[in-house]
Amino acid sequence: MVVLLSSQHLHLPFLSPPPSPPKRSNHRTSISMTSSSSSSSSPYSHKDTRRSSLLEFPHLSPSHRELMLDLISTVETRLGPHLLPSAVPPDVAYFQTDSGNSQGSLDIRSGRKDSKIDFILGSWLHCLLPSGAALDIATLFAYLSPKTDAPHLLLEFIQSSPTSLILFMDLLPRKDLVLHPNYLETFYQNTQLDAQRSKLLGVPNIKTYFSSSLYIRSVLSPTAIAMSINCEEGSVDEIMRDYVDSVAKELVRIWLDECAVGGKEIEEDERDDLVRRDDLLKRKTVEIDLASNLPRLFGADAAGRIVDEIQKVFGID
């Protein structure tokens, strides 16, 4: 995942692990009652501790938590027949430092061999920084296979204080948009993605955010929603509920309809460049994001286990 963090210079979408999660049955029950995403019709089981750890999102505000649950449920319900069960080991599905200051959950479902889905990744990360501030990152990332050239899906919400949050929502292009104007028209112009970005730009306390990483800025599409929210305490949750919620859901709907389900399959001889580009994106994610940040947050041993699992799913050494 290509994700990015703000002033702390973190570019972190994944998370790291250790022992089995602490008992939080009461909290888990309350979450399952607050969102339709955790209904019995959901493609994941309440008895699966890997899934329940991810679905807790225990440090997010109510509106933020319900949005993540809804997005994950929507994607997995729609793509369920194309996905394999999660195979993430317990010490990657949930993890925390010995002090308990940093915790996280990660779940990955790979696509079946005959599908256009490479994998779906969901995660949350909570970390108490030396400054005393708490960092919370919630991520949903969907990667398509070389059978289609349609864009990948990226949603990441990075909160560094009760009054500050950074949004990244995008369909990540897999072709050069200058060399392939039809690609730009099909996935970005005809879908009117820029209209979703404009909805948020008109909201008070929301501004365009520029990552300090030029690489990350080069990966995003022209219609990417890269924005920061800075407001009074308590208002972030209202903005998530009243504005971000509908835009995120529409972005996911467009990706499902036009890319994951509606995207056309490409011929074998068209796939080499696509595979090369996707592999570079995966390797860069590990190099500039995971390998540099995870050890600082969770220590070398835990970080190593996480990176190994991510590389296995990525199909890289």
Residue 20 has pLDDT above 90, yes or no: no
Q: At residue 6, does pLDDT exceed 70?
A: no
CATH of the domain at 33: 3.40.1500.20
Residue 138 pairs in a beta bridge with 124, 157
268 falls within a domain: yes
pLDDT of 207 strictly over 80: yes
Structural domain includes residue 68: yes
**Per the domain annotation, does 17 fall within a domain?**
no
Q: Is residue 15 part of a domain?
A: no
Kindly write down the DSSP assignment for every residue of the chain, as one continuous string: -----STT----------SPPPP-HHHHHHHHHH-GGGSTTSSS-TT-HHHHHHHH-TTS-HHHHHHHHHHHHHHHHHHGGGBPPP---HHHHEEE-TTSSEEEEEEEEEBPTTSSEEEEEEEEEEEE-TTS-EEEEEEEEEEE-TTB-PPEEEEEEEEEETTEEEEEEEEE-SS-TTT-HHHHIIIIITTTHHHHHHHHHTSTTEEE---S-HHHHHHS-TT-EEEEEE-STTHHHHHIIIIIHHHHHHHHHHHIIIIITTPPB--GGGHHHHHHHHHHHHHHHIIIIIHHHHHHHH-HHHHHHHHHHHHHHHT--
For every residue of 66-129, DSSP letters joined together read HHHHHHHHHHHHHHGGGBPPP---HHHHEEE-TTSSEEEEEEEEEBPTTSSEEEEEEEEEEEE-
pLDDT of residue 241: 96
User: Is residue 16 a part of any domain in this protein?
Assistant: no
* pLDDT confidence of residue 50: 56
Classify residue 9: in a domain, yes or no: no
Least confident of 25-39, 72-86, 231-245, 259-273: 25-39
* Residue 221 tokens, joined: 């599409």
pLDDT over threshold 50, residue 235: yes
- Contacts of residue 2, Cβ cutoff 8 Å, sequence gap at least 6: 11, 13, 154, 172, 216, 219, 281, 284, 285, 289
Assigned domain for 41 exists = yes
In a domain, 297, yes or no: yes
30: pLDDT strictly greater than 90: no
Q: Determine the average pLDDT of the residues in 91-100.
A: 86
pLDDT of 279 over the 50 cut: yes
pLDDT above 80 for 51:
no
Give residue 49's domain range.
25-314
Residue 125 forms beta bridges with which residues? 104, 137
Q: What is the pLDDT of residues 117-144, one digit of tens each?
A: 999 999 999 988 888 889 999 999 999 9
What average pLDDT is seen over the chain? 83
Query: In total, how many domains does the chain have?
Result: 1
CB 16 within 8 A of CB 306: yes
